[in-house]
Structure 1
Amino acid sequence: MHRSLTLISTTCLLALATAVPAQADALLHYIDDEGLESQILVRDHMIRMELNEAISGTSGYMLFDARNDQLTVVDDEEQTYLPLTREVMDEQIQAMTDMVSDLRRQMEQLPPDVRDQLKQQLRIGPEGFEAEISTRETDEQREIGEFVCSEIEVLIDDRPQSTVCVADAQSLGLETSDFQTLGALMDRLYELSLRALEAGGPMASQMGASLLPRVEGIPLEVREHDGVTTRLAGLSTDPLSEALFQVPESYEETEMF
């Protein structure tokens, strides 16, 4: 699910303190330099993120409700849905932290070469994460399509990790309320990413590798240093059906494990 979460993370926005319209719809269409596409739909307090099956292994979408910070993964192929409440996610990350700690203790009894091989196979990284994460404006502006954006670097311990080119929401003709909702999503994903890095287990490679704090504006492009570049390929403010943000009644609830 790593790349799906990367695309989700690139849509972080600044929440502005203004009146919220009754309904403000938006559709953002992204594509990366490997040709993989992703769509993010916003309607009022809800967000729908299309999942690319080749990346996530799931043919469906993820819903986010900004009223309660709940994520729900919907699998169209299996016709199931998985509610990821704050409590469930916190429990799963804590379980992962405990499991990785136990594995580390057991592997300390093994020869160094075997221990290193197992860490690589199990994707167990260093324990703990105390790096400082920050952003820095570069004063560089670029044209992407018909829009102009300003570049912001994301740094970990003062080392650039990625460069985000952001545009003002109004210049794209989009509503403020959409970005209040997206900002709530980004805060939650950022929090989960930090906790995954602290655990140092497989979730760290999925959620922490593309750490992106909230930036001031709408990302038109995200360039991961020595990685993938993702660009906004299109946007729409046409009204979206409420059904797009609901789980079909015939789908059955499932559990994470």
Structure 2
Amino acid sequence: MNYEVFGEGEPLLILHGNGGSAAGRYSMIPKLIKHHQVIAVDARCHGRSSCPEGDLDYFDMVDDVITLMKKLKHEKYSIWGHSDGGILGLIIGYKFTHKLNRMVLSGANARFSGLKPELQAFVKKYDQVPDPKMRKQVALMAHQKEISMDSIRKINVPVLLMVGDRDAIRMKHTMEIFEALPMANLCVLPASSHFITNEKPNHIIYWIKEFKKPFSAPSTVEIAKKMAKSIFEGN
């Protein structure tokens, strides 16, 4: 598996989307290394990593990343995973929680039906893709094994769940993941598609930096209760 390390500081693993690579994040790395040591990974059958025989599987790809995390021997890692990388982040989140600080996950789905129907129809045509490598990559999405909400409830580190308001992921599915995560903030980027890394790179960089602050989950209900008590009870 190909991976590249940039800078020093708190380790930030970058996990790219389907068909992408570490190289696709090069333009963002100079700003990220001001606050992190960036570890950019090429998933198997992507970028400069090898492409083994047989079908691709997200759980095998997670095992690759966990093996790398063990090899690099950092005490804790933060993760930014987009699309397929966000799927890997969800799985790493409950399988390897003790080695995580926090995660920013953008455009992630926990099952194939989380994609909008038009995208499902496209992905199901993977066997018509001429390029063998790309065919395997698209088939990966079509054959996604479901990540249960019970598994997602085990992710006990802060997660910033990010999605474009015109994303490939159904908004109600994003909300399902958000509500299952024990420590999550939600970021919906306006006028944004699934390809937010191209459309809004500075927004992503800002939120990766901002999410290093202590996790906060203010409750409007609790604030309203206190206001009501003050209004109606006079204290």
- How high is the TM-score relative to the length of structure 2? 0.29
Q: Which structure's residues are more often helix, by fraction?
A: 2
